[in-house]
Structure formats: structure tokens, C-alpha cells
Amino acid sequence: AQTVTQSQPEMSVQEAETVTLSCTYDTSESDYYLFWYKQPPSRQMILVIRQEAYKQQNATENRFSVNFQKAAKSFSLKISDSQLGDAAMYFCVYGGATNKLIFGTGTLLAVQP
Amino acid sequence: GAVVSQHPSWVICKSGTSVKIECRSLDFQATTMFWYRQFPKQSLMLMATSNEGSKATYEQGVEKDKFLINHASLTLSTLTVTSAHPEDSSFYICSLQRYWGLAGGSQNNEQFFGPGTRLTVL
């Protein structure tokens, strides 16, 4: 069975600084997707970024980028120029052949003004 | 993206009553919908997968007779919590996967989430 591990329950970053959230996963599948979802205080789940496992190039979405290391089964999220609106719970998520999503335990990110 | 609505956003009920939560896709057809439960400061726990026109598939440990799921159309799935008790108090979230059709394709595993429903059972 697939698992997703987020080892940082909480993180804090100063506004305008850069922060990296860690995620590791375990799978025997060769074809899968990885996601970072954000859940702000409103509790609405929002897709931040998506990575296809077959792509070697790291995905980037504006201030958000990932470091995808397939061999190491690592998928970290880097947030550059952090903004107050980035404060949220961030979930690392695995999507494989079953169509079900497997969520990590989440990292609560605080942004200090 | 896709727009998903849930109704109600917040419901308070007495112990022993049943509560129905609706999940609607507003701008595309969804053959598959998912229902999650989230306790405070915890991750999402998948309860069941709902397929249009067929019975839902429940995750291990989820009582199918207590959490009734009906996926009556490509745009609506409902979750009914029957004989609710205080331990059923939680945040319930639905999500949809895009429909593989002529008009467009799936973003493969990407799910679009509703805003959630907070259930409080007194």
C-alpha cells in the first residue's frame, strides 16, 4: 500500500522569505501523480501544484515549485516570497492507479509579518 | 478547474436524527465522487467512493448502513448520516473527478473539493 509522510507538523516563515515543506512517499507503482493541496482557515481544499511521475522536470506555479526526486521518493514544496495568504495547512497527496488520493498528515504553515 | 458546492455548510442536529449532505458539480459531469471526513487538525480520511448509477464503495471501518451514499446523477451525490450521534460530529468534504468525455479529459487523479459541511450532533 502507498503511504505519504510529512515529518513537519508545523512550520513558520517570515513574510517575503522562502520556506520548504518536506514530503516522502512510498509506492511500488511506476505511474502516479503527486500533489500539494492547501487548506486555509476556510477549510476549502485548493490545489497548489501537480507533478506527473513520468516527468523529470519539476513543476512550477508562480511562487510555488517542487523538488521531485523519484528515486528517493521525495516531493518537497518550496514557497518563495511568502505572503500572509499562504498561511494554511498543506497536504502532500499521492494519486495512483486506484484513483483514490492518499493524504499526508499535513504541515501547518504560519507566515509571520 | 471545477466548481463544487456542498449544502448545507453547517448543520446542528439532535442525537438520533438523520442528516443529509448534498454535493453538486456545477460545471461538469462527474462519474466518480468521493466523501471524506476530517477531524480538527487532522488529515482527510476517505470514507467512500461514489459512482453514478452504482453502489458506493466504502473504506474499511466505515459503516455503510450509517453513512448512506447516493450518486443519483452525474452532478449530485448525497451523504446521509443516519441516527447521528455526537461522535459523528465532524467536517465532511466531498470531491469530484472529471468525467472522461468528448468535451475534455481528466486531469488524472486530480480531485476538486467542495467547501465542506460541518456537522455538530448534540
Which residues in A lie closer than 8 A to residue B44 (C-beta atoms)? 45, 91, 103
Q: Which of A42, A43, A49, A55 to mutate to test the interface with B (most CBs of B within 10 A)?
A: A43
**How far is the C-alpha of B4 from the C-alpha of A98, rounded, in Å?**
22
Task: Characterize the bridge pairing of strands B67-73 and A64-69.
Answer: unpaired
pLDDT at B108: 59
Residue B94 is predicted with a pLDDT of 96
User: What does the pLDDT read at residue B21?
Assistant: 97
Amino acid at position A18, single letter = T
- pLDDT tens per residue across all 113 residues of chain A: 899 999 999 999 999 999 999 999 999 998 899 999 999 999 999 999 999 998 889 999 999 999 999 999 999 999 999 999 999 999 999 998 888 899 999 999 999 99
For residue A103, give the nearest of B41, B44, B110 by CB distance.
B44
Please indicate if any CB of chain A lies within 8 Å of the CB of B54: no
pLDDT digits (tens, 9 = 90+) for B14-52: 999 999 999 999 888 888 899 999 998 899 999 999 888
pLDDT at B98: 66
Query: Cell triple for residue A1?
Result: 500500500
What pLDDT, on a 0 to 100 scale, did the predictor assign at position B117? 98
Classify burial at A30, counting beta carbons within 10 Å of its beta carbon; exposed 0-12, middle 13-18, buried 19 or more.
exposed
Task: Tell me what percent of the residues of chain B surpass a pLDDT of 70.
Answer: 89
* Contact with chain A for residue B97, Cβ under 8 A: yes
Residue of chain A whose Cα is closest to the Cα of B44: A103
Closest residue to A105, CB basis, from B43, B46, B108: B43
**Per-residue pLDDT tens over the stretch B62-113:** 999 999 999 888 889 999 999 999 999 999 999 998 644 434 444 456 789 9
Going across the sheet that includes B67-73, the strands are B4-7, B19-25, B76-81, B67-73
Rounded-to-integer distance, Cα A89 and Cα A45, Å: 9
